[in-house]
Amino acid sequence: MRKLFLIVSFCISTIGVYAQSIINETESGDGEAVAMQTPIAIIPQPVSLMKKSGTFTLPENIVIQAQKSGDLKQSIAFLSDRITTATGKFVSTANSAAHPTIKLILNTQDDTQLGNEGYKLNVNPTQIVITANKPAGIFWGVQSLVQLFPAEIESKEVVKNIKWQAPCVDVIDYPKLGWRGLMFDVARHFFTKDEVKRFVDDMVRYKFNLLHLHLTDDEGWRIEIKGLPKLTEVGAWSVKKVGTFGDFTPPTADEPRSYGGFYTQEDIKEIVQYAQERFVNILPEIDVPGHSLAAIASYPELSCTADAVNYKVRSGEKIMDWSRGAPPLALVDNTLCPANEKVYVFLDTVITQVAKLFPFEYIHMGGDEAPHNFWEKNDQVKQLMQREGLKTIPQVQAYFEKRVEQIVVSKGKKFMGWDEILEGGVSPTASVMSWRGLKYGIEASKNKHNVVMSPTDFAYLDYMQADVITEPKVYASLRLNKTYQFNPIPASADPKYIIGAQANLWTEQIFNFRQVQYMIWPRAFAISESVWSPIEKKNWTNFVDRTEQHFERLDLAETKYSAAIYDPSITVRRTPDKQLMIELTPEIDGLDIYYSFDNSTPDRFYPKYTAAITPPKDASMLRIISYKGKQVVGRLISLPITDLQKRAR
């Protein structure tokens, strides 16, 4: 019987024919919308989902029963809020009830299949039951349950004339990885405490459980450290600039340094508690020895360079020369001095307080992109190399990293750094976050280092997600279909040491929280499925169908997202006879692309793209737009022919 269940479940999930009763505009006799059939759209994809006959309908009075309600208060609160806000129905809770609407049950004896975060969700015509070993499992089960109801459940106000139904299903679900993270860079641009909380609210909807906070960089020091007041008096503030980060003119002396902010230690405690209540751990990052200009502007004695007394917190002006690749050539010395004992005293103070504020077992200490050109010329560094028998500058950084790890470990924490810490030799107990592709994570796992995979190839959400003419310009692109190919446990790695994976959002080009959301969603859908769902469940076509349904949910939740999947990739080349050829490649099936060369705005009655096109001799502009049937779905994209000619060169 069990074998039959698994075979049927696999077949259903493979072909993607999940039927769910949801609502359309046709009304029944009582004025409520009538249910129709559409695919079930849970993200991330559950391990097992069996569709049963029938639907569950929310009654006017809903009773949530939880025998250990104290342990499940966050799940109860989340579910009650979603139901009450969108439906207007009355929700009550009870430790026991004759006929509860929704039962939340913690197993008295662990189900080994579920682990600490798995759950079982059973939706029947008259009752919903979620069971799990731990409160986290109940919470994730609640997220899946909410996704079974009509999209209007995400509304921030009562939606009338809806029959609030969910399909009857049996779900068995548990995560592939224990570390399922999103990194939020709050250093390049400061985001408020409430915005960080909103970030947590958004991420838990899709079962992320790790928030990596990038707290320090050249552009700002964002955490209060008692006894080092200049870190936030000086290091948290820059000159406000708007435009293209990295190309800003250097600030003048009279421009006010009033842009930025920081979190007090009380703010941090509040954020940590808020995240913990939602089963999210927070990994703090203090990025050293590079990316440290904000700290050096606050305390110049931490630098090897005498001119550091004149340094200021970066406001987006150019401070690195990347022409030769990484590590870059520093135009100003943004590194802490590895040969200065004051640096290690400073870091001891910082790490002591960070360790007390963040209960998570790891502290991330950066280690990436540290320029070495100032070290190479410095007498203190040369003396350190002679004294310690160091032959190369990478060994100097390894010396620094090992000393920093000793401080971290002395506070009862585990040390983690970006994969550059592998260069020059690293402590066997160091953990590695692999960002320069998968290869460094694979290498680290084979050498028995714990690894978190966050490769640029798949997981850098600051990258452009459509054509450069439609996006704030960044140095690389990452479309949704590429993100969906992420496999955090590559075949050549030792899976025992791959403890997790995450996507990273750097915010150099992100000036406000709405743009944060736009850059994350829907690519974080793809990451959530990569870190939660079995790899054999991944199916691009089915994922796109579910993503489109979640666009409606994000609209109702007033969460910004990118609809770049409807915009084609634009490739330009020249034929041997110098003709310009333009190819438009849809990212998803079912799109029709229409275009014009006459400066007018195309619609579906214009020429339809079927093969590579050549601009007419005197044309100055190509405009394109995407349709699904008769519905406009893509953005109007206007491409000057001169721009396309430059691309071809």
Say if residue 127 is in the same domain as residue 202: no
CA-based nearest residue to 567, from 466, 462, 464 = 466
Whether residue 46 is contained in a domain is answered as yes
Q: Is 372 among the catalytic positions?
A: no
Asked whether the beta carbons of 218 and 506 are under 8 A apart, the reply is no
Residue given tokens 């139904």 in the structure block: 165
* CA 474/CA 452 separation, integer angstroms: 24
Local structure of 524: helix, strand or coil: helix
Burial 388-401, CB ≥16 within 10 A → b, else e: eebeebbbbbbbbb
Whether residue 582 is contained in a domain is answered as yes
Report in angstroms the alpha-carbon separations of 367 from 124, 209, 305, 388, 424.
52, 24, 19, 20, 12
Whether residue 548 is contained in a domain is answered as no
Alpha helices in 222-264 (DSSP H): 230-233
Active-site pick, 212, 214, 291, 550: 291
* CA 314/CA 235 separation, integer angstroms: 9
Whether residue 562 is contained in a domain is answered as no
3-state percent breakdown (helix, strand, coil) of the chain, nearest 5: 35, 25, 45
Fill in the DSSP letter of residue 317.
B
* CA 287/CA 518 separation, integer angstroms: 26
Whether residue 543 is contained in a domain is answered as no
Say if residue 29 is in the same domain as residue 112: yes
Dihedral sign of CA atoms 427, 433, 436, 438 in order: positive
pLDDT tens digits for 210-233? Answer: 999 999 999 999 999 999 999 999
User: Residue 464's beta-bridge partner residues?
Assistant: 477
Say if residue 399 is in the same domain as residue 476: yes
- The domain total for the chain is 3
Say if residue 478 is in the same domain as residue 583: no
The beta strand positions in 486-553, using DSSP E, are 498-505
Whether residue 420 is contained in a domain is answered as yes
Local structure of 206: helix, strand or coil: coil
pLDDT tens digits for 476-518? Answer: 999 999 999 999 999 999 999 999 999 999 999 999 999 999 9
Local structure of 84: helix, strand or coil: helix
Among 173, 207, 242, residue at a domain's last position: 173
Question: What is the pLDDT at residue 71?
Answer: 85
* CA 30/CA 350 separation, integer angstroms: 64
Domain that holds residue 597: 567-648
Neighbours of 473 (CB within 10 A): 12
Q: What pTM value is reported for the model?
A: 0.93
Question: What is the pLDDT at residue 36?
Answer: 44
* CA 367/CA 400 separation, integer angstroms: 9
pLDDT-flagged residues of the chain (< 50): 1-37
Active-site pick, 170, 195, 270, 369: 369
Among 127, 150, 173, residue at a domain's last position: 173
Question: What is the pLDDT at residue 19?
Answer: 38
Say if residue 162 is in the same domain as residue 187: no
Say if residue 153 is in the same domain as residue 184: no
Q: Is 217 among the catalytic positions?
A: yes
Question: What is the pLDDT at residue 180?
Answer: 98
Write the CB contacts of 362 (distance below 8 Å, at least 6 apart in sequence): 283, 413, 414, 415, 416, 431
Within 13 Å and on the Cβ side, how many CA atoms surround 289?
A: 33
* CATH at residue 375: 3.20.20.80
The beta strand positions in 294-384, using DSSP E, are 320-321, 329-330, 362-366
Question: What is the pLDDT at residue 21?
Answer: 36
* CA 299/CA 431 separation, integer angstroms: 29
User: Residue 535's beta-bridge partner residues?
Assistant: none
Say if residue 100 is in the same domain as residue 195: no
Asked whether the beta carbons of 364 and 285 are under 8 A apart, the reply is yes
Say if residue 145 is in the same domain as residue 247: no
Local structure of 421: helix, strand or coil: helix
Say if residue 157 is in the same domain as residue 233: no
Report in angstroms the alpha-carbon separations of 608 from 355, 582, 604, 626.
60, 14, 8, 10
Say if residue 490 is in the same domain as residue 577: no
* CA 516/CA 215 separation, integer angstroms: 16
Count, in order, helices (H) and strands (E) of the chain. 18, 29
Active-site pick, 154, 185, 217, 419: 217
Among 173, 192, 227, residue at a domain's last position: 173
Whether residue 59 is contained in a domain is answered as yes
Local structure of 418: helix, strand or coil: strand
* CATH at residue 84: 3.30.379.10
Say if residue 400 is in the same domain as residue 414: yes
Whether residue 555 is contained in a domain is answered as no
Neighbours of 410 (CB within 10 A): 12
Say if residue 134 is in the same domain as residue 218: no
* CATH at residue 598: 2.60.40
